[in-house]
Amino acid sequence: MRTQEIRRMTALEDGHWWYRERRAVLRAELRRLRPGRALDIGAGGGGNTRVLVEEGWDATAADCSGLAVEVARDRGLRAVQADARDLPIESGSVDLVTALDVLEHIEEDYLATEQIARVLRPGGRALIAVPCDMSLWSAHDEAVGHVRRYCRDSLTGVVEKAGLRVERLWSWNVLLRPLVARHRRSSMGSDLERVPPLINAALSAVVMLERRLPVRSLRGVTLFLCARRES
């Protein structure tokens, strides 16, 4: 991710509806698991790493950007500069790897999933999120350095090729997909910007409503995947 996008994301993430609601998904998934050692790859300034720590995990943020690592450390987090395709982490030493909006930035995404599988202990899990559906491709994707958007088959394929077993795969941001698609058609760049408070609250409310509806199998804006490294 470009330096200016890291700075913008860090400034926005605590209040922006998209980050806040995605972290609600992360918290819900963490509460399914017993806390242990976690690695948050592509961590940016460590916003998701903070959630891991708050939920009791011994978490490390990893990012290829030196600026991102500095921001994470300034927040009191353990952070290392690392390429997701070549993680400086001992094999079989991690209970959970999170890779939230990471794979789409990497041309050789299969190398990143191989590294995720390598560092996980047997029985360890990976939680992955990626933007879905190339029909939503726009100037926003180009501005934030995306290489691709995924479909269910392509995401499952690159994860299973690494030797992980997919346990669950679901769509997120389903109700807002028509609005996002319309907006992206006229997009001129990154969507990472402040949202007026009333609109921010309304969008957040729609995503909160989605949690109660049986829409996870429909097309959304993001795909979430939970996978396990077998014994």
The tens digit of pLDDT for each residue in 4-53 reads: 666 667 777 778 899 999 999 999 999 999 999 999 999 988 999 999 99
- Asked whether 27 and 56 are in contact (CB, 8 A), the reply is no
* Local structure of 145: helix, strand or coil: coil
Better-scored residue on pLDDT, 8 or 105: 105
Of 35-39, 51-55, 137-141, 153-157, the poorest mean pLDDT is in: 137-141
Q: Write down the mean pLDDT value for the chain.
A: 93
Average pLDDT over residues 86-108: 97
Q: In the chain, what are the domain boundaries?
A: 3-229
Chain centroid offset of residue 78 CA: 19
- pTM of structure: 0.92
- Asked whether 79 and 60 are in contact (CB, 8 A), the reply is yes
With cut-offs at 50, 70 and 90, classify the pLDDT of residue 144: confident
Q: Which are the contacts of 28, defined by CB distance < 8 A and separation ≥ 6?
A: none
Angstrom distance (rounded) from CA 5 to CA 166? 31
Could you confirm whether domain 3-229 is CATH 3.40.50.150? yes
Task: Give the model confidence (pLDDT) of 64-80 as tens digits.
Answer: 999 899 989 989 999 99
* Local structure of 10: helix, strand or coil: helix
